[in-house]
Amino acid sequence: MEASLKQFLQEHQIHEVECVIPDMTGIARGKIVPKNLFVAEDNMKMSKAVLMITVNGEFADLDRFVGPSDPDMVCVPDAATIRKAPWAIEPVAVVIHDCVDFDGRGVALSPRAVLRKIIKLYNDKGWKPVVAPEMEFYLIAQNNNPHEPLRPPVGRAGRTEVGRQSFSIDAVNEFDPFFQDLSNFCDEAELGVETLIHEVGAGQMEINFSHGDPLDLADRVFLFKRCVRETAYRHNIFATFMAKPMEHEPGSAMHIHQSIVDNQTGKNIFSLNDGSASPLFFNYIAGLQKYMPHAMPMFAPYVNSYRRLSRFTAAPINVRWGYDNRTCGIRVPNSDPEARRLENRVPGVDVNPYLAMAATLACGYLGMVEGLEASEPMRDSAYDLDYELPRSLDDAVSAMLDCEELSEVLGRQFVEAFCAVKEKEYETFQKGITAWEREHLQLHV
């Protein structure tokens, strides 16, 4: 075991350790062990089948992707990820683990391994990707009946929001006790959270992260979601990262800002020496335009995700791009040449952060190595154009399975296994009968 792990446990007088891995849905799976056992065993063993669990707890196609014997894998702690779990009553640490086979090779089914694979592709070219996510989410009233619509929570004034309060400071202050605890928890867990704003929807908030390494940012987003939910529980409300939680409110996104740095010079490869945009910048955009429709299961992983991606919800419906144009799926913010970047506005906040970052970087990488050409930038609203993205999870899975180029860079085994999980979830969803069907079809057809 690395000395830094032991030192952390000792300095913080840790009692227990949460040994976690992110599964394909982004849920934390693992074991909680006493500190002494964590130190003594170093690595933990866990069934590889854990990686194939659907969001509703079923297993998808285990014989094909895991094997009939249900074998173990080795989970190795990443010392760089150890943090205190600030929401815990006693001193508890959380450590994210990498999944490897017994021969030391990374498990292809692991989302963390997929992101590592994409980062290595960049490193092999002498490039370093830099990302910065923006996360929208809703605070909602506690709701234990899934058949009832969600609604905003009651604030300190004793009322719920009855209208949209975009960028309102007072609307954020309605939940000061929640945000004070959340801020303290994020600081204690060293999550690097920056700006807080009230978004368009009633009870909808947005938090931005400082830019950095994609794997580190994915780890922080992964932990941040848990942190927000745990903080909400303390204040007798819920927090949801559904992409479209309420019928008449806008959806929630995880916008991903991205740029690429040259490993030797440290310069942004999206800009030339004279400050103008480089050919690689436009190649990258073209890669997103060509391959994002095929990567949609990683940007919109659930049936609910596609309710957000509609021209009626102020969310992207195509892969147009434009300068400071928020109607486009790909936005280029105003910036200095050193900070030239683009923003992928397609992913919902319901994504697995490891896979969303791996997918967007993979699309851009393919655009650069293939020398693709971007379309002309949009100067008007892209909401009025045709749909260019899959309209349903079923269509998105088919599009992903048909794309050889993405399968090559992400890993064919992983793509097929991930799509098997999505197909299982879609199959389960299709068995349910919705309230809309009962209301409008029961006595009318």
Same structural domain, 189 and 304: yes
Cβ atoms < 10 Å from Cβ of 392: 14
Going by pLDDT thresholds of 50, 70 and 90, the confidence category of residue 42 is confident
Q: Is 156 within the bounds of a domain?
A: yes
Q: Look-up: residue for tokens 């190649």?
A: 283
Which pLDDT value is given to residue 268?
98
Q: Strand, coil or helix: what is 433?
A: coil
Which pLDDT value is given to residue 231?
95
Give me the chain's average pLDDT, please. 94
Task: Give the residue numbers spanning the domain of 83.
Answer: 3-104
Across-strand partners of 254? 135
Which pLDDT value is given to residue 388?
97
Write the CB contacts of 160 (distance below 8 Å, at least 6 apart in sequence): 141, 151, 152, 153, 154, 202, 203
CATH number, position 48? 3.10.20.70
Q: Is 434 within the bounds of a domain?
A: no
Same structural domain, 175 and 100: no
Q: Which of 79, 104, 129 is the last residue of a domain?
A: 104
Same structural domain, 57 and 166: no
Q: Is 415 within the bounds of a domain?
A: no
CATH number, position 217? 3.30.590.10
Give the total number of structural domains in the chain: 2
C-alpha to C-alpha distance for 112 and 24, rounded to whole angstroms:
9
Q: For 346-374, how does the pLDDT look when each residue is reduced to its tens digit (9 = 90+)?
A: 999 999 999 999 999 999 999 999 999 99
Q: Is 443 within the bounds of a domain?
A: no
Q: Look-up: residue for tokens 């910036």?
A: 335
Return the closest-CA partner of residue 340 out of 422, 445, 411, 268: 268
Same structural domain, 309 and 384: yes
Angle at which helices 279-291 and 353-370 pack, to 10 degrees? 120
Return the closest-CA partner of residue 115 out of 17, 14, 37, 221: 221
Q: For 380-406, how does the pLDDT look when each residue is reduced to its tens digit (9 = 90+)?
A: 999 989 999 999 999 999 999 999 999
Mean pLDDT across 43-59: 94
Same structural domain, 94 and 202: no
Same structural domain, 78 and 193: no
Q: Strand, coil or helix: what is 33?
A: strand
The residue type of 312 is F
Same structural domain, 76 and 202: no
Listing DSSP states for 141-196 in one string gives E----TTSPP-PPP-TTS----S--TT-HHHHHTTHHHHHHHHHHHHHTT--EEEE
Q: For 254-276, how does the pLDDT look when each residue is reduced to its tens digit (9 = 90+)?
A: 999 999 999 999 999 999 999 99
Q: Is 417 within the bounds of a domain?
A: no
Q: Strand, coil or helix: what is 257?
A: strand
Which pLDDT value is given to residue 282?
98
Same structural domain, 140 and 207: yes
Structure tokens at 412: 């064919």
C-alpha to C-alpha distance for 441 and 47, rounded to whole angstroms:
44
Going by pLDDT thresholds of 50, 70 and 90, the confidence category of residue 171 is confident
Q: Is 431 within the bounds of a domain?
A: no
**pTM to 2 decimals?**
0.96
Same structural domain, 25 and 127: no
Which pLDDT value is given to residue 341?
98
Residue 35 in contact with residue 14, Cβ under 8 Å?
Answer: yes
Same structural domain, 174 and 300: yes
Same structural domain, 380 and 240: yes
